[in-house]
Amino acid sequence: MHTVIVTGASRGLGRAVVHELNRRGAAVVATARSESALAALEDELDNVVTVVGDIGSDSTRREVIETALRRDGRIDALVNNAAVLEPIARSADAEAGPWSDHLEINVVAPVHLTALALPYLRASGGRVINVSSGAATRPLAGWGAYCTAKAALKMATEVLATEEPDITAISLRPGVVDTAMQATIRSDGRKVMGAAGHDRFVRLHEDGELLDPALPGAAIAALALHAPKSLSGGFVPWDAPEVRALL
Ligand SMILES: NC(=O)c1ccc[n+]([C@@H]2O[C@H](COP(=O)([O-])OP(=O)(O)OC[C@H]3O[C@@H](n4cnc5c(N)ncnc54)[C@H](OP(=O)(O)O)[C@@H]3O)[C@@H](O)[C@H]2O)c1
């Protein structure tokens, strides 16, 4: 049985990834801060163990790896999905503390968790799926921290793929997904993002065009278990033909 680590598993996309991995017969180590949501996941699904903690903390990251290894002594894939959008702020209003916290969660955590998992991923010929965003390549007013972090994570994935021929490392673009992060954009984004940038997200919601998390969630789970080496280093849309072929 494959063992897969999923961060940000308490809701949204991460939770959908855990469900699909479970359906496909993988064992999952699921982590996030929300204790009750993780307890519900463990109750609902067999072969899911959880670690409650802040992924921005070194000790949580080490506990996640130790928990995976205690299960079956192996790690087959790591899905770095946990992320925050905040601070939503213009560059002129950037503050050191919120930026540091953001980069710790959105960049340092996935990079460090990958390093901790790497000896086991090399042994299993495993996979790292870093959940990315169009924001990695497209600037959006008010999203300085998020765009910068996703761009950094995209490059970190490319470097990893260059350095590690025995594993497959991918940046996955999940589309615009109906999760709490989108609700935050609609409720808190307008003043800072400006009307034009904000309207697009409001319209997508009003027109029912946000994706059900189960769709990109299924793509991420399939890639975690079966992504071909040819995708390593790629910036891959959730609905790319190579991904659909795995569904
Ligand atoms: N929604 C979209 O349209 C969209 C588009 C492009 C990319 N993405 C990316 O998709 C991924 C999932 O986003 P989502 O939309 O599902 O967002 P979400 O509903 O806000 O979920 C974020 C997840 O990350 C966890 N998390 C946040 N900060 C954490 C921390 N410090 N320590 C541990 N866990 C933490 C949250 O759990 P706790 O709060 O319980 O800790 C939650 O499980 C993110 O990488 C996001 O950037 C989303």
**pLDDT tens track for 38-57:** 999 999 999 999 999 999 99
181 lines ligand 1 (CB under 6 A): yes
Which residue ranges make up each domain of the chain? 3-175+213-244
The residue-averaged pLDDT of 113-133 equals 98
**pLDDT tens track for 171-211:** 999 999 999 999 999 999 999 999 999 999 999 999 999 99
At residue 161, the pLDDT reads: 98
Instruction: Kindly state the percentage of the chain with pLDDT values over 70.
Output: 100
At residue 46, the pLDDT reads: 96
CA of 89 to the centre of ligand 1 (A): 18
Band (72; pLDDT cuts 50, 70, 90):
confident
The three-class DSSP label of residue 31 is strand
132 is catalytic: yes
Closest by CA position to 173, among listed 222, 228, 234: 234
CA of 170 to the centre of ligand 1 (A): 18
Q: Which long-range contacts (CB under 8 A, 24 or more apart) does 133-141 make?
A: 133/173, 133/174, 134/173, 136/171, 136/173, 136/235, 137/235, 140/193, 140/197, 141/90, 141/192, 141/193, 141/194, 141/197
pTM of the model: 0.98
At residue 167, the pLDDT reads: 98
3-175+213-244: CATH class: alpha beta
**Residues forming a β-bridge with 198:** none
Q: Tell the residue nearest (CA) to atom 46 of ligand 1.
A: 83
> Which CA distances in Å does 70 have to 41, 53, 246?
19, 18, 29
121 lines ligand 1 (CB under 6 A): no
34 lines ligand 1 (CB under 6 A): yes
State residue 77 phi and psi, 5-degree precision: -160, 155
